[in-house]
Amino acid sequence: MVTWIKELWAYRDLVYNLVTRDLKVRYKNSLLGIVWSWLNPLLMMLIFTFVFDVLWVQHDIPNYHVLFLSALLPWNFFVGAVMGGIPSVVGNANLIKKVYFPREVLPISVVLSSLVNFLIGLPVFFVLAMASGVMPTRYVLVLLIPILIQLTFATGMVLILSTLEVFYRDTHMLMDVVIQAWFFLTPIIYPISTLPESVVLFGLTFNPRVWLFRLNPMASIVNTYQDILYRGTITTGDFLARTAVTALVIMVIGYWFFRHHSGKFGEVV
């Protein structure tokens, strides 16, 4: 593993060039270019302010649009990284067959480009949130923690899924369905506090608030963003620590899984 990481570091310039290429391609032939990274959260904020604070006021959550956007932005980062990273190896078949380089450079560069896009849009969120009366607190200084945990988790997921896509080309189609279900199992359009504390399913009683965090790393990550960006607090308990360990384990497994099969990519793609 250490040898692999050293080799990857030696190709850091290639990672940088691929990230730059991905960002240029994303905004190629668009009139506003990278400005869309600022316009996207602005338009989303305006739409959800109008819908949930004007048309459909069925909640007692102040500045619901800020709560929603504080979860939607990191979720879009995750979805962009995963769904963009899945075909990263297959989509660069010609490059893989012509020259040697660590193959993990391809999915990792997609994850990093999604991170850059997320970071570009984050300042717009702060401006819009403050305009709505939601002021940042000192806990914004620890925002780097959930970002690093999410980056680790997303990278591990992409390494696994991009490998599976090489051998099973319907992986991305399956993930389209999984991502949609995953969205509703993550507290994005609803705060975790609105869930009941006890539910009976198939004769078994469980606490959905607890198990949502235990089984869904993104639930804990998104809730941490909401705590920092909307509630002005820091996540308590051990859920975030468990999520960090889970993300690291998935990252290590994903890296091993990718490298174990990467020698066959040239033959299969």
Task: Report, in angstroms and rounded to the nearest whole number, the Rg of the chain calculated over CA atoms.
Answer: 20
pLDDT in tens, the chain (269 residues): 778 788 888 888 988 888 888 877 766 655 555 666 667 666 776 776 676 666 666 567 778 888 888 998 999 999 999 999 999 999 888 888 888 888 999 999 999 999 988 998 888 889 888 988 889 888 998 899 999 999 999 999 999 999 999 999 889 999 999 999 999 889 888 777 777 778 777 777 878 777 788 889 999 899 999 999 998 888 766 777 888 999 999 999 999 999 999 888 888 77
- Count of structural domains, the chain: 1
Domain membership of residue 149 as a residue range? 2-268
Return the pLDDT at 62.
79
pTM of the model: 0.87
Distance of CA 266 to the CA centre of its chain: 29
Measure the CA–CA gap between 235 and 231, rounded to whole angstroms: 10
The answer to whether the beta carbons of residues 51 and 68 sit under 8 Å apart is no
Q: What pLDDT is stored for residue 85 in this prediction?
A: 93
